[in-house]
Amino acid sequence: MSAAPKPVAVPAAAPRKPAAKPAYVETYLQGAIEGMSRVHRERGRAVFALTSPNKGAGTTYVANLLAQELVRQFDCTVAVIGSDSMKGSDPKHLPQGFVEDSPGIWSAVPDRALEQMPDFALENIWISRGAQNFDFVLVDCPSLASNSQTARWANAANGVFLVVEAGVTKVHQIESAKRSLEATGSHLQGIILKRTYPIPRVLYKLI
């Protein structure tokens, strides 16, 4: 396999001041976005792990919404790394290949998939050395209950967000997940409550 041409790295723009009012549907994510922005201001870039206490809580859905909102509010670059791209990897080292799904949002390509790609497909792959090429990196981890590697990936990140599904995740599951993260020294940034129903617009105006 011939090496993919490495594109010229263009420094990403620093995050702008957050929008005065977030989009209606993304309101429940705003606390997480503000926390990510604070870490970015302190470090110049930020790597966050998203996990959940139980299977099926919707971390992938939340990770994709967060990426869209970060780009919308800050005009920045965001890498989204799925668990399939992290398998067998040292959690301190990110995958090397990324493809742009939409302006500013890049998805990781598993290293083993890069090895099997034809040369013409590699032209669309950005060969990256790691988090320094992106403003934000979101690692979409499996639930803590289903994968023992999740705690390691969470520990390697600048912060962890626990995705909790309203009306499904139990209190004891949340408490157990928090203990697991604390035991590994991971920094729990907050809990994202994923709602399965929208807030009525009349009530939204009162928030």
Q: Output DSSP code: residue 27.
A: G
Residue 143's pLDDT band (boundaries 50, 70, 90)? confident
Strand order in the sheet with 105-109: 126-127, 97-102, 105-109, 78-82, 136-140, 46-51, 159-165, 188-194
With a threshold of 0.85, does the pTM exceed it? no
Predicted pLDDT of residue 37 = 93
Q: For residue range 69-119, what is the model confidence (pLDDT) as tens digits?
A: 999 999 999 999 988 777 655 656 677 788 888 999 988 887 666 666 656
Domains and CATH numbers, the chain: 26-204 (3.40.50.300)
Residue 82: other Cβ atoms inside 10 A: 20
Angle formed at CA 101 by CA 82 and CA 162, multiple of 5 degrees: 35
Retrieve residue 142's tokens.
């499996």
